[in-house]
């Protein structure tokens, strides 16, 4: 059951909506993704779905956030 599998594990990737290009791009996190156990695909959980066709969806490996007060590198 995919739903149980995704809720019991931490996401491995973030799903982002990107509008614009280069330094002017605006990135918004819209969901999360989990690698399949065989590493051959992803399960996506989207909180928002862009509807106007402006921009693109990007899946990026999730990076751990530093603890509060810890400097980000």
The DSSP bridge partners found for residue 19 are: 26
Mean pLDDT, range 61-67, rounded to an integer: 78
3 pLDDT exceeds 90?
no
Instruction: Report the predicted TM-score, pTM, of the whole model to 2 decimal places.
Output: 0.73
pLDDT reported for residue 67: 63
CA distance 28 to 18: 7
Model pLDDT for residues 22-59, shown as the tens digit of each residue:
999 999 999 999 999 899 999 999 998 888 888 999 99
CA distance 73 to 54: 31
Domain boundaries defined on the chain: 2-61
pLDDT reported for residue 72: 43
The DSSP bridge partners found for residue 31 are: 15, 46
Mean pLDDT, range 12-26, rounded to an integer: 95
| Best CA proximity match to 47, nearest among 62, 33, 34, 37 | 33
Cβ atoms of 30 and 49 closer than 8 Å? yes
């Amino acid at each position: 059951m995919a739903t149980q599998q995704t809720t019991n594990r931490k996401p491995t990737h973030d799903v982002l909506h990107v509008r614009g290009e280069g330094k002017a791009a605006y990135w918004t996190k819209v969901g999360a993704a989990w690698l399949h156990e065989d590493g051959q695909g992803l399960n996506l959980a989207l909180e928002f779905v862009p509807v106007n066709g402006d921009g693109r969806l990007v899946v990026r490996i999730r990076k751990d956030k530093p603890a509060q007060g810890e400097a980000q590198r």
